Amino acid sequence: MHNAKVLFCPMAEGVGLGPLSQLLGVAEELTLRGGRCAFLINESHAPMVRRLGHKYYVAPKPLRGDLHAPDFRMSDAARALGVVDSDYLDQAIASELAAIDEFKPTVLMSATKLTVPASARLRGLPLVSIAATPDGPEFQSPLYDAAGLPDARPEEVVRVMARHGVEVRSDIAELSYMHSSYAVSAAYQAFDPFLRHDNLSYVGPLACKGIDLYTPLSELGSRPLITVYINRGSADVQMYLQVLSSVAADMSAFQFVVIERAEPIDLTVPANMSVVPEAPIGRLLSESRALISGGGQNAIMLSLLAGVPVLGIRGPSAERDFNLRRVEALGAGLIVEPPVEASAVCSALSKLVKDANYQHAAAAASAALRQLQGAGGVANLLLDIAR
């Protein structure tokens, strides 16, 4: 039995599953190797963590915030979510310290949780963080100039972190991974070559197999499959569903499966389009000809791992915009620019599934990703650190 005990701290301020699902993938592998896991999560994520059998603690909620505000710079997103409130920051650090003192981990692992570096320092624990270029302080995006947003550093965060011995030198984005002992990228180097960290490992997708396996897969039929995963917050979900309904009607040779978790659906869809609240995206992609995505990293990496090209629906998120531009730069996908119209999506999707160059580029990405260690490699790293 290994003595590794890891407290996983995903971003607790939003409703998205991306950071949590990555850490669940690592916890799954760590458990198989004899390690012990616990999570500090927001209350809405408790059912999933409980279903997978992990111990968890509930993190405090921000005192204010707008979950649907566009996420541009890290500081803008933090301000919109209410993360910069001094009282909330104190509560967040206190909850982390309480979980540490009760669970007594040997290692902390974080995904976009800005307060964890302070807790790691206060308790003398090594910290492993998931790194992505859009989370870094030097990240730039074409969306920034268009938005005209001020580049304001939230001084409230700087003061609270300084009080706990963590100096923020440039921008609070550095807290996402640059103050950690080790960093791991859930991509591969050609996809995200811009990361800067002395102890960085590219590990590829951090997929949780348990999530994929317990989710039922309904009968797919005989038509070629197109998987659609438009991230919540990317744009107006209902509008996209209307566009995709028209696309499916025009491309009746394909079966479209749309994964949309939270929005109530008030739309009649064609017979070759299904809208489901959850689905085993890994298994779906293994049967698919293309992924239509808003740009979330997890879905894109799983698509490339399966050798499936990506059609990007660009929205207001700088992070997802970066991911889509990288797929396009690698030749493994196309982007549809707003305003999104069904004719543009049909044209791009037809090109994507007919032009072998996109298939070849996606296959090359798949080959590169399959050389990496994935969640198992991160679990091994955590075990090594704990020794």
Q: Convert the pLDDT of each residue in 205-240 to its tens digit.
A: 998 988 887 777 777 778 999 999 876 554 567 778
Residues 313 and 339 in one domain: yes
Residues 65 and 143 in one domain: yes
pLDDT (mean) for 171-192: 96
Poorest-pLDDT segment among 60-69, 94-103, 327-336: 60-69
pTM for the predicted model, two decimal places:
0.93
Nearest to 287 by CA among 239, 220, 338: 220
Q: What is the mean pLDDT of the chain?
A: 90
| Amino acid 265: pLDDT | 67
Coil, strand or helix at 170 = coil
How far apart (Å, rounded) are the C-alpha atoms in residues 372 and 187? 9
* CB-based contacts of 384, cutoff 8 Å, min separation 6: none
Report percent pLDDT > 90 for the chain: 68
pLDDT (mean) for 114-121: 98
pLDDT digits (tens, 9 = 90+) for 36-47: 999 999 999 999
pLDDT digits (tens, 9 = 90+) for 311-361: 999 888 889 999 999 999 999 999 999 888 999 999 999 999 999 999 999
Q: What count of other Cβ atoms lies within 10 Å of the Cβ of residue 156?
A: 18
209 in a structural domain? no
Residues 179 and 66 in one domain: yes
Residues 189 and 221 in one domain: no
What residue type is 266 in one-letter code? D
Which range, 50-64, 253-267, 308-322, 341-355, has the best average confidence (pLDDT)? 341-355
Residues 234 and 250 in one domain: yes
Going by the DSSP 8-state scheme, the letter that residue 355 receives in this structure is: -
Residues 353 and 376 in one domain: no
Residues 285 and 249 in one domain: yes
Beta bridge partners, 255, equal: 225
Residue written as token pair 């690698």: 330
27 in a structural domain? yes
Residues 198 and 306 in one domain: no
| Amino acid 121: pLDDT | 98
**Size of the chain, expressed as the number of residues it contains:** 387
- Domains of the chain: total: 2
pLDDT(304) > 60:
yes
Residues 185 and 159 in one domain: yes
Domain that holds residue 240: 214-369
pLDDT confidence of 78, banded at 50, 70, 90?
confident
pLDDT(16) > 80:
no
Which range, 66-80, 140-154, 250-264, 360-374, has the best average confidence (pLDDT)? 360-374
User: Both tokens of residue 192?
Assistant: 């995200």
pLDDT(141) > 70:
yes
Residues 113 and 260 in one domain: no
| Amino acid 64: pLDDT | 72
Residues 331 and 224 in one domain: yes
pLDDT confidence of 264, banded at 50, 70, 90?
low
CATH number for the domain that contains residue 172: 3.40.50.2000
Residue written as token pair 């390690």: 35
**Torsion region of 79: left, alpha or beta (phi above 0 gives left; psi -120 to 50 gives alpha):** alpha
User: Is 293:299 a contact under the CB 8 Å cutoff?
Assistant: yes
| Amino acid 236: pLDDT | 67
62 in a structural domain? yes
